[in-house]
Each structure stands twice: as structure tokens, then as C-alpha cells.
């Protein structure tokens, strides 16, 4: 242990012999570390945000009949679920299940008397839907739906309301095909106007009560049940467990219903993987160059140490430890910089511009992931040590006489 500390102390003093070069080398390692941690933290935050958004929209698990996933319906609720309340109560007995929300999906026309527009309707349990999912919609006018309303009510997407010149209190008519293939119409009143942040969806989307949707479609069925769990990481185990209890139904998880999430994840993996590789190469070249200059300047010193009996392995150890100290100091400084930026963004919010296809931006945050920090710091230290050892290997193999005569 004492010998190891002696060599480490020796390497530390050697790094101070040319402080400017050592400072530049450590600064490059720090910037590389900070860049990797900030880019990786942004990617992780994006993954987490997309995963939570997808699970909040559909549920961690979605239960439906097999044909619902595999075939197109000829009439509304053709492949809908029967006995929903009994099925829902059975699912709620699972300890990991927080809530089970029914959904009725339908399409048709909505009219203000002068103009008719194609709409995509979703029937939900209002009280449970907005309590479990939280503020997943931005209310522009009016209020959200509530159970127990005496009048048939709907919520309109911002674009749909604009197209119909509707506002809270406006009377409209819904027209849709029933489960029997006939046409049915209902008079409704606008309760609120909302925005999902995606203009294309806002031009067609409509929310109403499950009971009203079933009445319009003439069927007691629902399209599917969304299962919301206590924790995101309980999804896989809950899917296996519930699927065994419901062999006649098919469960899909949120990820199977979120192709956008997979696309973004694959894209970011390639982008940040390439970025990390480029930064690692830059760090290798900078550390290698710094160590090469240091070793060239100390060639006669190395020859003298060899003449005094110092073994090549001992010299390689000393020079590799110098790389460790420079890379380690730079990595720690970079980690501190990345951590400071991540915390600052939490205290002073910065908003990103809206991504393509959306009308609202989102907060810029950097995830602080312990594993990412640990792996990045270790990688930087190992890269610096490897670069230093590679240069030192060549220098220590130089003949002693040639090293002593070096100028």
C-alpha cells in the first residue's frame, strides 16, 4: 500500500511540472465528460417523458378482445368488451393495479346546424379519467367533464371547436353509426374546449361520457380497458400475471401502443452513441498528445531512471498514474459541471420550442442518473490511463544509452 501511495504521489508531482499542459488536458477531459453527461441526461429525460406520456394516455396495460387488435371493426364496438364492471372489479383486486378506466372509441359527424365535421370521439369515465391521468389536456375554455351531469355534454378539441364556431354552452348534434349498423343522433352541449398540443388531433378529437357514447352507439360494450399501475417498472410482471388470469383476452403494454417512443429512442441512441464516440476519440487524442509531449521532454530523465535500475514496468505504472490523475480530475470536474447545469435547469426553467407536429413546447431538463455518471467517469479514467500507458510503453523500451543522449 505504501509503495502504491508513493508512486501515486510521484505521478502527482510530475503532473505539476507543466501545469499549463496538465490544466489543458484536464479541461478537455472535463468538457468531454460534461458533454456526455448532459447529452445522455437529456436523452434519459426524453425517454422518461415519452414513456410517462404514453402510459398516461393509454394506461400501462390495455385489455381488449383478440379481434380488437387484429381486425378492423365493421360496426362500432363489434369487438368490444362485455361484462365490463365485473371485469374491472376483478382487475382492481391486483395489488399493483391503481385504477381501471373504460374507453369507448367511435367516429362520426358533429354538426352545429349549418356545418358538419368529421370527428373522432372517445367515451371515458370523467371523474376517474382526469383524476388518474392528471393534467394531460390544456383547457382553453370552460371546464372538464364530470360524472352525474343531467345534460349530455362533450369536450371539443380547440381546432374542432374553431371549425364549428363552438364555445362552452353551444348546442351541437352528434351523428354516428350504431352497433347494429343504423344511424343515430344525439343533441349535446359543449362543456369545455381543450388542446392536446397536437393541432392535427385537436381538429378532430371529442371527449364525452362512456354512458353517452354507449347510448349513441346503442351498445353496453366498451372498446378496451386501460389498466393504470402503481409503478412503471411493475408493467412486465403485471402483464404476465393478468394475462394468465384472462386467457380469452389480450393484453398489450404501453410500449406496444407507442411506436413514436421506440422511433425516438432508436434515433437518440444513434445520435448520442455517435456523439459519445466522437468525444471519446477527442479525449484519447488530447491525452495521448499531452502525455507524448511530457514523455519526450523527460526522455533523458527516463534514461537516467533506467540507468539507476528502475524497471520499465515501474515507469509505465508512473506514467499511467499520471494519465489517471489528469483524466480523473477532468472527469470529476466535468461531472460537477454537468450536475450544476442539471440542478440549475430545475431552479431556472428553460422551455424548448415545440417539436414538429406540436403547438406547445416542453421544459428542458437533464436527468441525473447515477449509473450514467459512474460509467462515464470510469470510462474517462480508463481512456486516459490507456492512452498514457500506450505512449509510456514506447518510451520505456528505448535503449538506455539512446535515452541518455536524447536532446
Q: Tell me the per-residue pLDDT of 265-287, one tens digit each, with 9 for 90 and over.
A: 888 888 878 877 887 787 777 76
pLDDT band at 2 (very low <50, low <70, confident <90, very high): low
pLDDT tens-digit readout, 80-103: 999 889 999 999 998 899 999 999
pLDDT tens-digit readout, 328-352: 888 899 999 999 999 999 888 888 7
- Cβ contacts of 402 within 8 Å, gap of 6 or more: 303
Average pLDDT, rounded, for the chain:
84
Q: In the chain, pLDDT over 70 holds for what percent of residues?
A: 90
User: What gap in Å lies between CA 10 and CA 20, rounded to an integer?
Assistant: 18
Residue in this structure with the C-alpha cell 349535446, named with its chain if needed: 188
Contact yes or no for 362/49 (Cβ under 8 A): yes
Highest mean pLDDT among 41-55, 308-322, 353-367: 41-55
Handedness of CA 149, 151, 154, 158 (dihedral sign): negative
With 0-12 / 13-18 / 19 or more C-beta atoms within 10 angstroms meaning exposed / middle / buried, residue 339 is middle
Nearest Cα neighbor of 302 from 396, 383, 169 is 396
Ramachandran quadrant class, 125 (left: phi over 0; alpha: psi -120 to 50; beta: rest)? beta
Write down the pLDDT at residue 271: 84
Neighbours of 118 (CB within 10 A): 11
pLDDT higher than 70, residue 18 = no
Of 61-65, 103-107, 314-318, the poorest mean pLDDT is in 314-318
Long-range CB pairs of 394-397 (<8 Å, 24+ gap) are 395/295, 395/296, 395/299, 395/302, 395/315, 395/319, 396/302, 396/306, 396/312, 396/315, 396/316, 397/312
pTM: 0.76
Q: What is the DSSP letter of 222?
A: B
User: What gap in Å lies between CA 56 and CA 381, rounded to an integer?
Assistant: 40
Segment 116-142 mean pLDDT? 84
Contact yes or no for 63/388 (Cβ under 8 A): no
| Residue 92 or residue 396, greater confidence | 92
pLDDT higher than 70, residue 134 = no
pLDDT band at 63 (very low <50, low <70, confident <90, very high): very high
Segment 285-304 mean pLDDT? 72
Strand partners, 122: 105, 207
Segment 246-253 mean pLDDT? 90
Residue in this structure with the C-alpha cell 541518455, named with its chain if needed: 404
Amino acid at each position: 500500500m505504501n509503495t502504491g501511495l508513493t508512486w501515486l504521489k510521484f505521478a502527482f508531482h510530475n503532473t505539476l511540472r507543466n501545469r499549463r499542459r496538465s490544466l489543458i488536458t484536464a479541461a478537455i477531459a472535463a468538457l468531454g465528460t460534461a458533454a456526455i453527461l448532459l447529452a445522455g441526461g437529456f436523452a434519459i429525460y426524453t425517454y422518461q417523458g415519452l414513456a410517462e406520456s404514453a402510459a398516461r394516455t393509454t394506461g400501462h396495460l390495455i385489455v381488449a378482445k383478440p379481434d380488437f387488435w387484429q381486425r378492423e371493426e365493421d360496426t362500432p364496438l363489434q369487438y368490444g368488451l362485455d361484462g365490463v364492471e365485473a371485469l374491472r372489479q376483478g382487475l382492481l383486486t391486483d395489488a399493483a393495479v391503481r385504477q381501471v378506466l373504460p374507453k369507448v372509441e367511435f367516429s362520426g359527424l358533429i354538426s352545429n346546424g349549418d356545418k358538419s365535421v368529421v370527428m373522432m370521439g372517445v367515451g371515458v369515465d370523467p371523474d376517474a379519467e382526469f383524476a388518474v391521468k392528471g393534467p394531460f389536456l390544456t383547457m382553453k375554455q370552460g371546464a372538464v367533464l364530470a360524472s352525474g351531469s343531467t345534460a349530455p355534454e362533450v369536450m371539443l378539441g380547440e381546432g374542432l371547436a374553431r371549425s364549428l364556431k363552438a364555445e362552452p354552452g353551444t348546442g351541437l348534434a352528434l351523428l354516428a353509426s350504431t352497433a347494429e349498423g343504423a344511424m343515430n343522433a344525439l343533441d349535446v352541449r359543449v362543456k369545455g374546449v381543450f388542446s392536446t398540443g397536437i393541432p392535427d388531433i385537436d381538429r378532430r378529437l371529442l371527449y364525452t361520457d362512456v354512458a353517452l357514447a354507449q347510448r349513441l352507439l346503442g351498445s353496453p360494450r366498451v372498446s378496451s380497458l386501460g389498466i393504470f399501475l402503481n409503478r412503471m417498472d411493475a408493467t412486465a410482471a403485471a402483464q404476465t400475471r393478468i394475462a394468465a388470469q384472462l386467457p380469452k383476452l389480450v393484453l398489450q403494454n404501453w410500449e406496444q401502443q407507442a411506436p413514436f417512443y421506440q422511433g425516438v429512442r432508436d434515433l437518440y441512441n444513434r445520435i448520442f452513441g455517435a456523439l459519445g464516440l466522437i468525444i471519446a476519440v477527442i479525449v484519447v487524442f488530447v491525452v495521448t498528445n499531452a502525455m507524448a509531449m511530457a514523455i519526450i521532454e523527460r526522455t533523458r530523465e527516463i534514461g537516467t531512471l533506467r540507468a539507476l535500475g528502475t524497471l520499465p514496468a515501474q515507469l509505465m505504472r508512473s506514467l499511467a498514474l499520471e494519465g489517471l490523475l489528469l483524466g480523473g480530475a477532468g472527469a470529476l470536474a466535468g461531472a460537477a459541471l454537468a450536475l450544476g447545469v442539471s440542478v440549475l435547469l430545475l431552479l431556472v426553467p428553460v422551455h424548448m420550442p415545440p417539436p414538429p407536429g406540436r403547438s406547445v413546447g416542453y421544459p428542458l431538463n437533464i436527468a441525473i442518473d447515477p449509473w450514467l455518471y459512474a460509467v462515464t467517469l470510469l470510462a474517462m479514467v480508463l481512456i486516459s490511463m490507456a492512452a498514457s500507458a500506450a505512449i509510456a510503453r514506447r518510451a520505456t523500451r528505448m535503449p538506455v544509452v539512446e535515452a541518455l543522449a536524447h536532446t
